[in-house]
């Protein structure tokens, strides 16, 4: 036989039936023996009827109990797989206590009365008064057994309710047959109090109307009182076990948590589906949620502590880098100031060079005019030289003709003889003078030709010089243009350097502000690190299910 079949069916059944047939039945039989002569005389026949009633009653009770317990046994043995099957098992389990309570009353007040008392009455073994009294006693005994069977059935299913609670199925109570705790307490108190009162009333009735001696009743009545005391004790024990167990465990758990032990792994036993069971179920749900929250807080605190360490390390590096950056910015600012001074100096030099270049340009223009005048003068000298050459040619021709005339004169003087000697002398002098004039003309011609050649060469050089001056002027103009562009660029660069210097100053201010902010952040991180450490220590006081 399976374990859950034993715990849900066999053990409760044996305990219930054991109490019934070891306590209730013997007390009732022993109660009737002193006051019923017919029952004493036909005791064996009465016991046989009791045994037959027991067999029928036990078979009926076992069948109903097993039918209602089987779904819960299957769920516990096979595990929670189908939610519909579990809910069906819960409905059957919720019906079981009511079914057993009603069934035990029917077994006593109906089956026992019909199968034992009525046959004895019909056979004449019992008078009518004892028939009525026996029905009353059996009915009161059935009422006393209702509380026992109800509580035993409910408490025996505590493991099943606990499993359903762990799987969250008890959260939806729709479709379950249950009564509130107040109704249960009221019903059980009535079931405990009514039987002895009913027995007392029945005994008084039997004494008054049947003429049974009170001494006989007084001897048997303590048995009924003993039965009532035993049933009251058992019912009270089972009731308090179901109520105070969960409440006591809850009190201990809260006490441990209040004292700092913080064990979040403990859970209450869900012993039923009444208010106590619901309280235990929702308390366990609260503990599950609390454990998840504490686990989450613990993980977050560890991550926070780790992140704070990383940010702290990064802030230290950032602080050092900010200080180095501030020093670098100061160096850059100083270098920019020096560069700005150099650029301004260069700008001034460029301006002065531009002014000097303009002066040089003026001088070149003047020299170009002088060269132009010189070329004009050279051109005039060349023209005059050509004219002189022409004159020399004329002189040379005159000298040639003079020489020719002198020669003719000499010839004529020779013809004249003595009379022509003086004329011959003059002709010789004239011829000599003409020869000298021709020689001088040739020399002048040679000099003029040399001078003209040199003038041509000088003219060529002057043309080349003029071309060079033009090219130099063009280069100077390009140079002036470049100087102007350099001056403009230098001025723009100087302005940009000023703006850059201003921006560097702002960056320096921002860097110093960032350095101060980083220092404040470092202080804040130290405070956060301390808070995270405190939070981590507080969370570590709780014991989790993963530990």
Place of tokens 């003026």: 362
Q: Does residue 168 fall inside a structural domain?
A: yes
Q: Does residue 270 fall inside a structural domain?
A: no
Per-residue pLDDT of 353-402, as tens digits, reads 667 666 776 777 776 677 677 667 677 776 766 677 677 677 777 777 77
- Residues 41 and 30: their CA atoms lie apart, in Å, by 14
User: Do 385 and 483 belong to one domain?
Assistant: yes
User: Do 164 and 49 belong to one domain?
Assistant: yes
- In terms of Cα–Cα distance, which of 405, 407, 400, 396 is closest to 440? 396
pLDDT at position 404, please?
75
Q: Kindly indicate the confidence band of residue 299, based on its pLDDT and cuts at 50, 70 and 90.
A: confident
Per-residue pLDDT of 449-506, as tens digits, reads 777 677 777 667 667 776 776 777 777 677 667 777 777 777 777 777 777 777 777 7
Per-residue pLDDT of 141-161, as tens digits, reads 788 788 888 888 887 877 777
Per-residue pLDDT of 433-450, as tens digits, reads 767 776 776 777 777 777
Here the CATH number for the domain that contains residue 448 is 1.10.287.950
User: Do 237 and 342 belong to one domain?
Assistant: no
Q: Does residue 283 fall inside a structural domain?
A: no
User: Do 125 and 218 belong to one domain?
Assistant: yes
Domain count of the chain? 2
Neighbours of 124 (CB within 10 A): 9
Q: Kindly indicate the confidence band of residue 283, based on its pLDDT and cuts at 50, 70 and 90.
A: confident
- Residues with Cβ within 8 Å of residue 106, at least 6 apart in sequence: 142
Q: Does residue 72 fall inside a structural domain?
A: yes
Q: Region 40-55: what's the mean pLDDT? A: 79
Q: Does residue 521 fall inside a structural domain?
A: yes
User: Rg of the chain's alpha carbons, rounded to an integer?
Assistant: 72
pLDDT at position 533, please?
72
User: Do 215 and 313 belong to one domain?
Assistant: no
User: Do 298 and 241 belong to one domain?
Assistant: no
User: Do 319 and 198 belong to one domain?
Assistant: no
Domain that holds residue 100: 3-245
User: Do 31 and 153 belong to one domain?
Assistant: yes
Percentage with pLDDT > 70 across the chain: 61
User: Do 355 and 480 belong to one domain?
Assistant: yes
pLDDT at position 218, please?
64
Final residue belonging to a domain, choices 210, 225, 245:
245
User: Do 204 and 347 belong to one domain?
Assistant: no
Q: Does residue 359 fall inside a structural domain?
A: yes
- Residues 70 and 82: their CA atoms lie apart, in Å, by 15
Q: Does residue 185 fall inside a structural domain?
A: yes
pLDDT above 60 (res 187): yes
User: Do 315 and 205 belong to one domain?
Assistant: no
pLDDT at position 104, please?
86
Q: Does residue 267 fall inside a structural domain?
A: no
Max Cα–Cα distance, the chain, nearest Å: 244
């Amino acid at each position: 036989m399976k374990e859950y079949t034993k715990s849900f069916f066999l053990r409760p059944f044996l305990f219930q039936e054991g109490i019934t047939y070891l306590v209730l039945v013997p007390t009732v039989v022993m109660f009737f023996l002193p006051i019923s002569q017919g029952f004493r005389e036909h005791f064996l026949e009465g016991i046989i009827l009791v045994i037959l009633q027991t067999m029928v009653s036990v078979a009926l009770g076992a069948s109903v109990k097993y039918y209602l317990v089987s779904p819960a046994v299957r769920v516990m043995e096979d595990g929670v797989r189908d939610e519909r099957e579990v809910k069906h098992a819960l409905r059957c389990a919720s019906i079981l206590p009511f079914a057993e309570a009603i069934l035990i009353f029917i077994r006593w007040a109906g089956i026992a009365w019909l199968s034992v008392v009525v046959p004895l009455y019909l056979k004449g073994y019992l008078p009518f008064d004892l028939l009525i009294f026996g029905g009353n006693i059996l009915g009161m005994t059935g009422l006393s057994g209702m509380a026992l069977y109800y509580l035993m059935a409910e408490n025996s299913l505590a493991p099943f309710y606990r499993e359903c609670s762990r799987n969250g199925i008890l959260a939806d109570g729709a479709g379950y047959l249950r009564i509130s705790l107040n109704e249960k307490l009221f019903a059980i108190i009535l079931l405990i109090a009514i039987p002895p009162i009913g027995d007392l009333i029945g005994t008084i009735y039997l004494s008054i109307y049947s003429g049974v001696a009170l001494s006989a009743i007084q001897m048997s009545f303590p048995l009924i009182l003993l039965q009532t005391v035993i049933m009251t004790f058992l019912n009270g024990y089972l009731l308090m076990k179901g109520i105070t167990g969960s409440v006591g465990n809850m009190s201990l758990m809260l006490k441990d948590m209040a004292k700092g032990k913080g064990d979040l792994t403990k859970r209450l036993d869900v012993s039923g589906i009444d208010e106590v069971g619901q309280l235990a179920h929702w308390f366990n749900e609260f503990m599950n949620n609390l454990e998840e929250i504490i686990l989450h807080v613990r993980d977050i605190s560890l991550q926070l502590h780790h992140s704070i360490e990383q940010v702290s390390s990064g802030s230290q590096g950032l602080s050092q880098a900010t200080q180095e950056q501030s020093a670098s910015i100061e160096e850059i600012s100083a270098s920019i100031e020096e560069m700005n001074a150099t650029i301004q100096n260069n700008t001034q030099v460029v301006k002065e060079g531009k002014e000097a270049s303009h002066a040089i340009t003026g001088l070149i223009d003047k020299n170009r005019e002088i060269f132009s005048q010189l070329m004009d003068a050279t051109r005039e000298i060349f023209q005059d030289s050509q004219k002189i050459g022409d004159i020399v040619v004329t002189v040379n021709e005159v000298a040639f003709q003079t020489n020719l005339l002198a020669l003719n004169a000499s010839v004529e003087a020779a013809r004249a003889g003595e009379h022509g000697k003086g004329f011959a002398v003059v002709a010789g002098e004239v011829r000599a003078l003409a020869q000298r004039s021709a020689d001088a003309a040739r020399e002048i011609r040679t000099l003029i030709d040399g001078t003209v050649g040199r003038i041509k060469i000088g003219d060529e050089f002057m043309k080349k010089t003029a071309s060079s001056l033009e090219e130099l002027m063009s280069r100077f103009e390009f140079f002036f243009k470049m100087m102007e562009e350099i001056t403009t660029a230098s001025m723009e660069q100087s302005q940009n350097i000023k703006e850059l210097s201003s921006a560097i100053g702002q960056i320096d201010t921002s860097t110093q502000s960032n350095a101060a902010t980083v220092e404040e952040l470092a202080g804040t991180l130290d405070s956060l690190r301390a808070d995270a450490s405190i939070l981590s220590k507080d969370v570590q006081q709780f014991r989790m299910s993963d530990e």
